[in-house]
Every structure is written in C-alpha cells, then in structure tokens.
Amino acid sequence: MRPPRLLLVVLAALAAVGCTRRAVEGLPPGVGVEDLPESESWNARLRTSADGLPQLEIEAPYLAQFARDTPYVYLGPPPGDTASAPVQIRLFDEGAPRGSVRAREVRLYDDGARVEADGEVWATVSGRDGAQIEAQRLTVEADTITAIGRVRAEIQGEPSARVQAARLRVAPGGAFTASGGAVVELGGQANATVRARTVSGSDGRYTATGGVRVLASGGRTLEAERVVWSESAGRFSAPGAFAFDGPGERVRGVGLSASADLSRYSFRRATGEIEVRE
C-alpha cells in the first residue's frame, strides 16, 4: 500500500479551509505558541488527485498542521473531544483503489510518505495478495505495513493465513512476518494451526521458529524449534530435533518430513522414544 506523497497538497487545502495560528494569551503552563498548530480544520473532507486520477481521500473530525522539527499533519478528534467519529483514509495507486485506513488518530509525515495510525486501527490492502488488519497501532511506509498491539489479520494469497500476534509486518506481494508469540491458521492444503515466537510467509512457503507447535487437522501435533510448510510440496519439514504425537504414535527424532495432516512421515534418525501402536 503506497501512501501518496501528498502532504503539500493537504497543507494547501488547510490554508484554504482552515484557521491559521495567531498569538494566544492565557496558555496553560508549559505550552507555548510553538506548540499550537499552524492551521486547523473541523469536519475535514479532502480529495486530492494528480493528472486527473484520485490519490487520497480523507474524512476526519479535525485536521491540523504542525510545523515542528518534524512537520506533520494530525487527523483525529479535536482537543477535548473523546466521542468523535474515526478518521477514514482511502488510498489509490494510479487511480485504482489500493487500500484504506480507519483509526481514532492518524499522523502524516514526510510529505505523506509515512502514515501512522493509532487507536482501534482497521486497515485493508486491495489486490490478490491483499490483507485485512486490526491492531492498536499501524504504520505505512515504503509499501510496507507494520501493525503493533493485539494484531489480528487475514492475509490473502495461496494459501491464505489468519494471524494473531503482538507485531505483524506485511511487505509488497503479501509477504509477512508475525512475531511476539504468533498464532497462524494456515489455509490451503495445510489446514493447520501454527504457534511460534515468529512465523513468516511468502509465495506459499511458511517458516515458524522458536517453540513451534503445529496442530494438524487430524489432531496430530508436531513440536520443534523450526518448522517449514511448503504449499507446492504439500509437506511440513522440521530440519532439527522434533517431537511428534498422534493417535497411537509418539516419536522423538531429527529431520522430519510429513504430509499436511502429519499422518505420513519420515525422519533421518530417532533420538529417543518411538512408540507406534496399531
């Protein structure tokens, strides 16, 4: 989702519809004129375009420009308001819908190249490898989305993946990394739930590392420090030590290769207990 570089256009719109800063008396202690916005607008609705193509649509209860060491545009509830509607931003790429962001507050930095959203964030990325993301905070920069705090997401693609994690990074093409204790429900052939410290996926290949536990559709489980799922091969692999449990089966070994439901498997060598009951 490429945020358009439109901060200058937004600032021009502010100059046209907002109020400019003037000297203020009776400010609270510790607050100077330099802390106030350069200009403001209430119930802002802005649409910008380039070469006749839409680039950005904004709806916000309040919009303010701040000219500090790092200039930015603030979108969100006006000062003292806790009941305003959320900010809505729709992004376009060469005129085509590219995604949207909804949040309580949004800040636009660096001519719009960086978007920071805070508070009950909901974001969508359009396209075949798109995504839907809920989080407490979300940043969009250089075509990459980073979501933080109680993240829930659905990543489209082959296969799709439902993600819960403390942190999620989504790059162009749908490649993602979920960290901070990730739970990923894989669709496609896998149809399995993967728990690990970190899970990353791209082009049908998913890698889980750190305390990995895979629960397959048939109830069998696989535990290892590193597990890889290949959608094209239709197999799980654990290159290092693993522990496998299933109905009437318990295996400890090294170098596992297994089918999607873990019912058919092979391994390089056993390192401990092997129990298979007919």
| pLDDT tens, residue by residue, 177-201 | 999 999 999 998 999 999 999 999 9
Higher pLDDT, 7 or 111: 111
- Phi/psi at 231 (5° precision): -70, -35
CATH classification of 1-126, choosing from 2.40.10, 2.60.450, 1.10.357, 3.40.1440? 2.60.450
Whether a cis peptide bond, with omega within 30° of 0, leads into 239 is no
Give this prediction's pTM: 0.82
Strand-pair partners of 8: none
Mean pLDDT of 239-251: 88
Query: Interior CA angle at 54 toward 49 and 58, to 5°?
Result: 85
In the CATH scheme, what is the code of domain 145-278? 2.60.450.10
Q: Is 261 helix (H, G, I), strand (E, B) or coil?
A: coil
pLDDT bucket at 7, cuts 50 / 70 / 90: very low
Whether pLDDT at 33 is above 70: no
pLDDT-above-90 percentage for the chain: 48
Residue 277: predicted pLDDT: 52
Tell me the per-residue pLDDT of 145-177, one tens digit each, with 9 for 90 and over. 999 999 999 988 777 899 999 999 998 778 899
- Count the Cβ atoms, other than its own, within 10 Å of residue 42: 15
User: If residue 17 lies in a helix (H) or strand (E), which one and from where to where?
Assistant: helix 7-17
